[in-house]
Amino acid sequence: MRKIAVAPVTLVAVAVAAVLGAAPNVEASSAAAARGKYLVAIMGCNDCHTPLKMTEKGPVPDETRLLSGHPQDMKLPAAPAANGPWVWHGAATNTAFAGPWGVTYAANLTPDTNTGIGIWTEEMFVKTIRTGKHWGVAREIQPPMPWPAYRNATDQDLKALYAYLRTVKPVKNLVPDYAPPSETKLASR
Ligand code: HEC
């Protein structure tokens, strides 16, 4: 008996919550994701985080690997030595970079759990860009990731970037680890 009496009240409460609370939240988060998509487009994240593929018209971003970072199946030879006036080099995909900092590979920014930023919280993401440290606490993020510029974005915009990145297709792609100069094999020249 009691259950029957309570149920309609609960249903009404849920319905009211949906109208007053849940629905605007969904809208707010999709508005943030839309803003994030715009920011990714103008801040050039795809330039380094989406691999280029060669076509008849020249290199174009590989949309099937959107924001998935340096392709795990692309094996690179040793980087050229970083001396002389030309001190840095980039791979054909524009996802791997060699210079005085060692060798860096653009990270997988898709929400894949094990190889992307699937387990990252919004707070970790914001802290990472703000501090230039992996997960906001660990090793320093190396060039050419332009975090010293992006750290000037508002919290709201950094959260919007995160909201959009949650919506892109998860791509399983394990990006190689950063190799500091001491571990970088250099080609002789
Ligand atoms: C000029 C190239 C370039 C651009 C543009 C770029 N990135 Fe990166 N990004 C990199 C590289 C390279 C790394 C790996 C750096 C390292 O391993 O130290 C990286 C790493 C990251 C990481 C991982 C940091 C970590 O803790 O592991 C995040 C998050 C990230 N980028 C987000 C972005 C976002 C968001 C944008 C656009 C707003 C962007 N990047 C634009 C090159 C770039």
CB 88 within 8 A of CB 98: yes
* Rounded Cα–Cα distance for residues 25 and 70 (Å): 34
| Per-residue pLDDT at 29 | 83
| Per-residue pLDDT at 189 | 47
| Per-residue pLDDT at 143 | 97
* Rounded Cα–Cα distance for residues 28 and 12 (Å): 23
| Per-residue pLDDT at 1 | 46
* Rounded Cα–Cα distance for residues 129 and 88 (Å): 23
| Per-residue pLDDT at 26 | 72
| Per-residue pLDDT at 138 | 93
Ligand 1 center from residue 23 Cα (angstroms):
33
| Per-residue pLDDT at 8 | 52
CA dist 170 to 31, 38, 47, 52, 167, Å? 20, 19, 18, 18, 8
Query: Residues with beta carbon inside 6 Å of ligand 1?
Result: 40, 43-45, 47-49, 97, 104, 106-107, 109, 128, 134-135, 141-142, 144-146, 150, 161, 178
* Rounded Cα–Cα distance for residues 68 and 11 (Å): 43
Ligand 1 center from residue 73 Cα (angstroms):
19
| Per-residue pLDDT at 183 | 81
pTM of model > 0.75: yes
Choose one of 38, 40, 127, 145 to mutate for the ligand 1 pocket test, by most ligand atoms within 8 angstroms of C-beta: 145
Ligand 1 center from residue 145 Cα (angstroms):
4
pLDDT in tens, the chain (189 residues): 455 554 555 555 545 444 455 555 677 789 999 999 999 999 999 999 999 999 999 999 999 999 999 999 999 999 888 788 999 999 999 999 999 999 999 999 999 999 999 999 999 999 999 999 999 899 999 999 999 999 999 999 999 999 999 999 999 999 999 999 888 766 654
